[in-house]
Every structure is written in C-alpha cells, then in structure tokens.
Amino acid sequence: MTKNRYYCPYCDVYLAHDSMSARRDHDSGVKHRENVINWYKHFMPPLPSASYYTQRKD
C-alpha cells in the first residue's frame, strides 16, 4: 500500500504527510516562499539598468 504524499514542484520535495496542516506549514516556510519567488522571476521581463534612468533626455 502506497501512502499519498504531496509533491511541491517549487521545492522539488515530497511531504511525508499529505494533510492540510502539513501543506500549510510547508507553504508558510521561508525556503518555500523563496523558491516560489525565484520560480516566477524566470517569467518576468528583465528590468532596465540603472543607467536607463540617469541618462539625460534632451
């Protein structure tokens, strides 16, 4: 018999216990939040460099 385990694609880990409290604890963790931010950064367009804002426009 295989136990159901929750897979977090952002952290690339399986949680041993598939319960709402285990998911909530995992999702509120610092490492998980950092991994989610890093994941979505891949889809963001690059920001202009600082020199873009400091150039004189005559």
The runs of H, that is alpha helices, within the chain are 20-27, 30-41, 50-54
Task: Identify whether 47 is part of a domain.
Answer: no
Beta carbons of 48 and 55 less than 8 angstroms apart: no
User: What is the rounded CA–CA span in Å between residue 12 and residue 5?
Assistant: 13
- Considering the entire predicted model, what is its pTM? 0.67
Tens of pLDDT, residues 1-19: 457 889 999 999 999 888 9
Q: Is residue 5 part of a domain?
A: yes
24-42: pLDDT as tens digits: 999 999 999 999 999 999 8
Domain range for 10 is: 1-27
How do 13-15 and 6-8 pair as beta strands? antiparallel
Query: Would you state the structure tokens that stand for residue 18, as one six-digit string?
Result: 């598939």
How many independent structural domains does the chain possess? Answer: 1
Q: Residue 8: inside a domain, yes or no? A: yes
User: Is residue 39 situated within a structural domain?
Assistant: no
Residue 6 lies in a domain: yes
